[in-house]
């Protein structure tokens, strides 16, 4: 039996921890570099291990106390690229104020390469403890964790009233009207969910990656197109995502990828918004941003950043290619 003591919660909220992390093989899609999604997975693993080291592992919180550990926001900057087989040290520094209703952390990940220590990732993370209502009640929430326990993800937010939705076949058109945007409808499958019912943070990270893939394909500059034409690959120096409400298994999720800003000819920022349709209204369940650039593959080990050319700029801005 895991005891939720004041001492354990104090360690969770006050004690810095470190752990070793290694990116998964799956995240190496282009040569041996690791994509932003799997970099964020490393941040997630560091936070989960921080709970373990405090004596409050996610499994015990759920099985014994009916509390689902949910990462509800993650804001990451990638400063150096990870490669396959890199081993890194992740430092987790608690970052929770007395009046916060979520548990906060600042995560720094660094690795050694060529005799030098590189700060690879900095991230800010927030965690909620979701009271399980799918199975029978687990009893009272342990007193030291009460302020972080929520009946629904996003309960710490002042929710806006959902907008009345148009006819279902018109929803995607309404969400992109007048915007430089791409949207699609998707039914949430169980592999994207956890705790039996709701999409988890890693699911949203997968959708952020898919949003980029769908957007550039729709604009005629798909990932493979630019790889084959010029050996260009997308790179992500920053991403953030925040859960605002719950999206449930087998609900239809409407995802909107909107280009907000093109910075000179070097990076562009897109916002991603996620909605479900409930009782005739669109409910926003998450929102985030992702910054993209491009790099050219120089060899099997190295790449370097490049400036956008006119073809890419026009595609991002939704302009027809010039003759």
pLDDT of 323 reads 46
Q: Rounded distance, CA 21 to CA 15, Å?
A: 19
Mean pLDDT across the chain: 95
The answer on pLDDT for 24 being more than 60 is yes
Q: Rounded distance, CA 22 to CA 20, Å?
A: 7
pLDDT mean over 271-276: 98
Q: Rounded distance, CA 163 to CA 108, Å?
A: 39
Give the model's confidence band at 164: pLDDT under 50 very low, under 70 low, under 90 confident, else very high.
confident
Residues 6+ apart with CB under 8 A from 116: none
The answer on pLDDT for 114 being more than 70 is yes
- On whether the CB atoms of residues 80 and 88 are closer than 8 A, the answer is no
Q: Enter the DSSP assignment of 322.
A: P
pLDDT mean over 257-264: 96
pLDDT mean over 42-57: 98
In percent, the amount of the chain with pLDDT more than 70 equals 98
Higher pLDDT, 77 or 156: 77
Contacts by 212-217, CB closer than 8 A, 24 or more apart: 212/257, 212/270, 212/290, 212/292, 214/182, 214/184, 214/257, 215/182, 215/257, 215/270, 216/315
pLDDT of 1 reads 66
Q: What is the pTM of this model?
A: 0.95
The answer on pLDDT for 321 being more than 70 is no
The answer on pLDDT for 322 being more than 60 is no
pLDDT of 319 reads 85
Q: Rounded distance, CA 174 to CA 167, Å?
A: 10
Strands 149-150 and 116-131: parallel
The answer on pLDDT for 260 being more than 60 is yes
The answer on pLDDT for 269 being more than 90 is yes
Give me 207's structure tokens. Answer: 């959708």
In 3-state terms, what secondary structure has residue 56? coil
Residues 6+ apart with CB under 8 A from 205: 37, 40, 41, 74, 239, 241
Identify which of 152, 106, 151, 174 has the alpha carbon closest to the alpha carbon of residue 244: 152
Note the pLDDT tens digit of each residue in 226-251.
999 999 999 999 999 999 999 999 99
């Amino acid at each position: 039996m895991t005891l939720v003591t004041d001492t354990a919660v104090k360690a969770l909220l006050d004690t810095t921890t470190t752990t070793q992390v290694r990116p998964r093989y799956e995240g190496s899609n282009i040569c041996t570099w690791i994509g932003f999604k799997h970099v964020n997975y490393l941040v997630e693993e560091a936070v989960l291990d921080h709970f373990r080291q405090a004596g409050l592992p996610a499994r015990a919180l759920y099985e014994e106390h009916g509390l689902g550990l949910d990462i509800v926001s993650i804001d990451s900057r990638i400063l150096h690229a990870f490669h396959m087989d890199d081993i890194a040290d992740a430092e987790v520094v608690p970052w929770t104020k007395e009046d916060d209703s979520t548990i906060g952390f600042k995560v720094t990940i660094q690795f050694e390469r060529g005799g030098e220590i590189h700060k690879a990732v900095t991230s800010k993370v927030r965690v909620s403890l979701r009271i399980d209502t799918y199975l029978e009640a687990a009893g009272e929430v342990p007193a030291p964790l009460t302020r972080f326990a929520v009946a629904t993800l996003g309960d710490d937010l002042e929710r806006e009233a959902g907008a009345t939705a148009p006819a279902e076949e018109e929803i995607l058109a309404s969400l992109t009207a007048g915007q430089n945007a791409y949207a699609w409808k998707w039914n949430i499958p169980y592999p994207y969910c956890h705790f039996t019912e709701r999409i988890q943070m890693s699911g949203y990270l997968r959708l952020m990656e898919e949003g980029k893939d769908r957007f550039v394909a729709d604009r005629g500059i798909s990932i493979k197109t630019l790889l084959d034409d010029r050996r260009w690959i997308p790179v992500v120096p920053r991403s953030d995502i925040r859960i605002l409400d719950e999206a449930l298994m087998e609900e239809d999720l409407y995802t909107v990828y909107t280009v907000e800003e093109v910075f000179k000819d070097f990076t562009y920022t897109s916002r991603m918004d996620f909605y479900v349709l409930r009782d005739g209204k669109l409910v926003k369940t998450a929102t985030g941003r992702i910054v993209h650039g491009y790099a050219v593959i120089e060899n099997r080990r190295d790449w370097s950043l490049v400036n956008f050319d006119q073809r890419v700029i026009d595609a991002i801005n939704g302009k027809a290619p010039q003759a």
